[in-house]
Amino acid sequence: MTKRIANIVVGLGKTGFSCVRYLAARGIDFMVVDSRQEPPYLAQLQQQFPAVEVQLGGLDAALLSNAERLIMSPGLALDQPAIQQAIASGTHIGSDIDLFCEAVSAPIVAITGSNAKSTVTTLVGLMAEQAGKAVGVGGNLGTPVLELLADGEKELYVLELSSFQLELTEKLNAEVATILNVSPDHMDRYDSFTAYMEAKRRVFNGCAQVVVNSDEDLLPAPAGKVKLWHYSIEDIAKNDSDFGLAEQAGESWLMQGEQPLMAVSEVKIKGLHNTSNALAALTLGAAVGLPLEPMLQTLREFAGLAHRCQWVANKNGVDYYNDSKGTNVGATVAALNGLGPASKGIVLIAGGDGKGADFDDLQQPVWLYCSHLVLLGKDAQRLEDLLAEEVPVSRVTTMAGAVEVAAYVVAQQEHRGDVVLLSPACASLDMFANFEARGDAFVQAVGAL
């Protein structure tokens, strides 16, 4: 009988290579497979770990079925026949998150959602640093989780987790977990919106505390002995531990229960959606015992992440915002609802690959807040068919052209708009290498005006 392989790392991208380094450093038996002939980290693997066996150019069902455990990269869907056959044969499916959680004893803050994950994760990490904590921040945001172990264990870990990561993860057991929001995304990967939501809900597996966004109609928090915290931008906090908003001396304030914390005007990241993000970060920080003052100081200082409703420039009285990370409908709705109430009119640049999503939820905020649409990319026609009834539309083929048209349109409007917003509601890969490249192209074009 053939000896079963202990571990197979499936996928040699950024996450897969972090698994390679982790397993090799601990002397754990493994090999690597990838469906691509030239995966991104092949050269690094061959240079640093020449003895590791690698199989490229396809997934061998018999090989995978002979493994005790597959350590999957999140970009690989589980419905591939070779992987399904391995699961049926009894092979265990795991992830880098599982390896990480097996290795650490420090508390974990686990953050997921369709939008704002990176902003809230970064905020909580900075709040912990401001409070003097040794903190590791990573996951779907930048640093693979296993690389957070390179300098020894931290006092606290703050992890951004995608649905792709969560569907592979069994042993999270976070100290506190949250689903910030859920809107249709990755419908090219999931059979239904329900399946996508269920993947997100795995963030609660084994957690001790849950932070609930009371403004979202989400799946219920897990039952049992789990402490619940709440935050809301719509309702005044009902309990002393809840975070919300209230009017104080004629302006809106962040509150914990009945305690005023700071004026919303002091929060450096702007827009109602970012006020919600600030409350989410405060609630998560409070759940793991971070003191209030360093958290509030972080909100005064944090200017936001690139490509996430990032203010770029003011040209002739018009503010230009780069929200290239708005890769789904929910993100663009949040950006419009966040910037729209204070705007005289938004010229929205949108379009790209909609990933099979329904765009219907764009209608209300677009018709309410947008004075003009500039559309490009694969699904520009779908967006025009849905939205052009109430808002004028221009079609372009390049980002430079989109910015030029937006600048011209806003200058010609009788009731002049004051915001040009790139928030595509679509993925970027039909035209760009990634959302960062798309945002960079927007910033460059604005700079050239």
CA distances from 140 to 73, 96, 208, 246, 287 (A): 12, 11, 22, 33, 22
Smallest Cα–Cα separation from 114: which of 76, 62, 160? 160
Strands 54-56 and 92-95: unpaired
Residue that has been written with the tokens 């789904």 in this structure: 328
Per-residue pLDDT at 1: 39
How far is residue 395's CA from residue 381's CA, in Å, rounded to a whole number? 9
pLDDT at 280: 97
- Once rounded to an integer, what is the mean pLDDT over residues 248-255? 91
Q: Answer for the pair 73, 20: CB distance below 8 angstroms, yes or no.
A: no
pLDDT at 236: 66
pLDDT digits (tens, 9 = 90+) for 10-67: 999 999 999 999 999 999 999 999 999 999 999 999 999 999 999 999 999 999 999 9
Question: Could you give the angle at the alpha carbon of 327 between the alpha carbons of 58 and 17, nearest 5°?
Answer: 35
Residue 295 vs residues 244, 253, 283: alpha-carbon distances, Å: 15, 15, 10
pLDDT value at position 414? 62
Catalytic residue among 7, 115, 133, 186: 186
Residue 187 has pLDDT above 70, yes or no: no
Q: Quote the pLDDT of residue 184.
A: 66
In the predicted structure, residue 377 carries a pLDDT above the cut 60: yes
Q: What is the per-residue DSSP string for 391-423?
A: S-EEE-SSHHHHHHHHHHHHHH-SS---EEEE-
Beta-bridge partner residues of 177: 110, 210
180-189, 322-331, 369-378: segment of lowest average pLDDT:
180-189
Given its phi and psi angles, is residue 142 left (phi above 0), alpha (psi -120 to 50 degrees) or beta?
left
314 is catalytic: no
Residue 186 known to be catalytic:
yes
Structure confidence at residue 310 (pLDDT): 86
Which pLDDT score is estimated for 77? 83
Q: Name, of 37-51, 176-190, 262-276, the range with top average pLDDT.
A: 37-51
Residue 308 confidence (pLDDT): 85
Residues 112 and 203: their CA atoms lie apart, in Å, by 7
Highest-pLDDT range among 161-165, 334-338, 370-374:
370-374
Catalytic residue among 140, 181, 277, 328: 140
Q: What's the average model confidence in pLDDT over 201-219?
A: 88
Choose the most confident range, by mean pLDDT, from 149-163, 225-239, 305-319, 414-428: 149-163
Domains, the chain: 5-90 (3.40.50.720), 100-301 (3.40.1190.10), 310-447 (3.90.190.20)
pLDDT average, residue stretch 245-274? 92
Tell me what pLDDT residue 223 has.
67
Percentage with pLDDT > 70 across the chain: 95
Does 246 have pLDDT greater than 80?
yes
Question: CA 98 to CA 202: how far, in whole Å?
Answer: 13
From 115, 117, 200, 273, the catalytic residue: 117
Token digits of residue 91:
């092979």
Helix runs in 253-373, H state only: 272-287, 292-301, 329-339, 363-369
Res. 188: pLDDT tops 80: no
200 is catalytic: no
